[in-house]
Every structure is written in structure tokens, then in C-alpha cells.
Amino acid sequence: MSEDALLSVRALSIRVRSGRDLKTVVDSLSFDMGAERVAVVGESGSGKSVTARALLGLLREPLEARAERLAFAGRDLNQLTPAEWSEVRGAGLALVLQDPRHALNPVLRVGHQLDESLRIHQRLPAAERRRRIAAMLDAVGLSAQRVADLYPHQLSGGMGQRVMLAMMLINDPKLLIADEPTSALDMEASDQVLELMSRLVAERRMGLLLISHDLRQVARHCDRVLVMHRGRIVDQSDASELANSCHPYTRALWACKPSAATYGTVLPVTPDLGR
């Protein structure tokens, strides 16, 4: 275990209770990451989204998480009180969710929502807050003049996700966790948002944990990839080495994407690895 890891996870297990049964959905997961861009890739049901929520302390009954060690920037997350969690979330660790139309508050203007997240975590004069909001919206490629007074339903999917990103980055967190941030967007907008996210994270020397089911897409935007299947990390590699992975599951995930070049062929399907 490296001492300077931004996030250190040891033997994280997540279980779901139904009646008297305990079903393991994430099984003894361990990884470290620094200020780098790491992707967690897997099919639906592989446990990648609950892992993200566990890292932010957001799991509720009937889900429960246990870890030998869960540390963020040297701080033990296992021991945090609810008040301390509120301090860490947003300011240290931030989360971008799937669909901005559900994640943003529908009855508050965009500018108001950004201002709120600043006021919760910092004490700043109003003029300074306005300046930061304008700068942040500018950084995600939006004009504060045009967007700040809009409501979420007036934004396109791509704009909504940029607003979400601005809201998450405005308190300068050290680690951004993004759970399928572009699955509600069309392919063009999706690549633009990932590109932007990846660039901002690199500029700010933050860590990015990107959760996705599209192996090829994340490979273009991340440094390292962890492949999850049925609650376990089955393969990991540098993004540039993914195409050469010899793990059968990774190979199938890599090759199952259709294109004009695969016309007339049978697409590989992921092998069932069993438990």
C-alpha cells in the first residue's frame, strides 16, 4: 500500500440483506489510486455503481458495506460521523451521476444551485461567489450570462451534464467520482463531456474514478482501467494496453462493440466466468 495514495481501498465488501439472507454484491475489492484517471468497467449488475456509492458513504439499508481500510487523503472514512461525511462530500470527494435531469433540482435556477454548493462548503462574500460561478461555468464551456438563470429542464442533456460537472468542481475536490456520466447523452455529446471532464481533472491535478460499461470509450479518456465482473476485479491494466489484454472477459468487452466493420460477423459475447 502506498502512503501517498489519494484513495486506498482494502477488502471492501458490499452485501444486500433480504430477509435472513445476505447476498454479496461486491466481494473483497482492493485498489489504490492517486491523482490519476481510473476507470471501473463492467456490465450491469457487476457492482460498479454500489462501489461508487460506498466510497461516498451513501449506501443505505438493505445494502451494507464493510472494508478493512477505506482511506481518502490520509483520512479514515470508516470512522466518519455523519457531520464529517457532509464535510468530505462535495469538498473532498464529488459525485457526478448518470442523468443531469434527475440529479439537478428541477425548481431552482442553475446559478442558484451552484451558489448553494459554494455556500455550504465555504464562507465567501457574494461578489466573490458570483465571480467563481462565472469562472467555473466558463471552464465547462458555458456562458454564465446565458445559463445561470435557466432551470434544468431548459438545458440539453450535454449542457445539463456540464452544469453538473461545474457544480461538482466548484469546491475544488481532490477526487471526482463519475457514475456513467454520459449514458443519457448521444455519442457526440458523450465524447465531448468525457473529454472536458478528463481535461479539467488533469489541469486541476485531481483524481477521477470513472464508472462505465463502454470499455473502448473510457480507454480513450483514462490512464488505467479496472474490469469488474460479479463483484470482483477480474482484470486491470493501463488503458493503452487494453487492446492486448489476454483476459477472456476483457477481450469480449473490448470486441463486443458493433461497427460497420463488423457487418456480417457474429459479435463476441462475454463468457460466463462463474464465481
Which residue ranges make up the site for another protein (CB under 8 A)?
43-45, 186-187, 213-215, 252-253, 256-263, 266-270
Helix (H) or strand (E) holding 14: strand 7-18
Looking at the Cβ atoms of 43 and 116, the one nearer to another protein is 43
Looking at the Cβ atoms of 115 and 214, the one nearer to another protein is 214
CA 188/CA 35 separation, integer angstroms: 27
**In whole angstroms, how close is the CB of 266 to another protein at the nearest point?**
5
Looking at the Cβ atoms of 73 and 252, the one nearer to another protein is 252
CB-CB neighbours of 156 under 10 Å: 12
Looking at the Cβ atoms of 118 and 215, the one nearer to another protein is 215
CA dihedral (78, 8, 84, 12) in degrees, to 10, reads -40
**In whole angstroms, how close is the CB of 186 to another protein at the nearest point?**
6
> Which grid cell sits at 153?
429542464
Q: Is the preceding peptide bond at 268 cis, omega within 30 degrees of 0?
A: no
HSE of 136, CA atoms in CB hemisphere, 13 A: 25
**In whole angstroms, how close is the CB of 42 to another protein at the nearest point?**
9
**In whole angstroms, how close is the CB of 160 to another protein at the nearest point?**
15
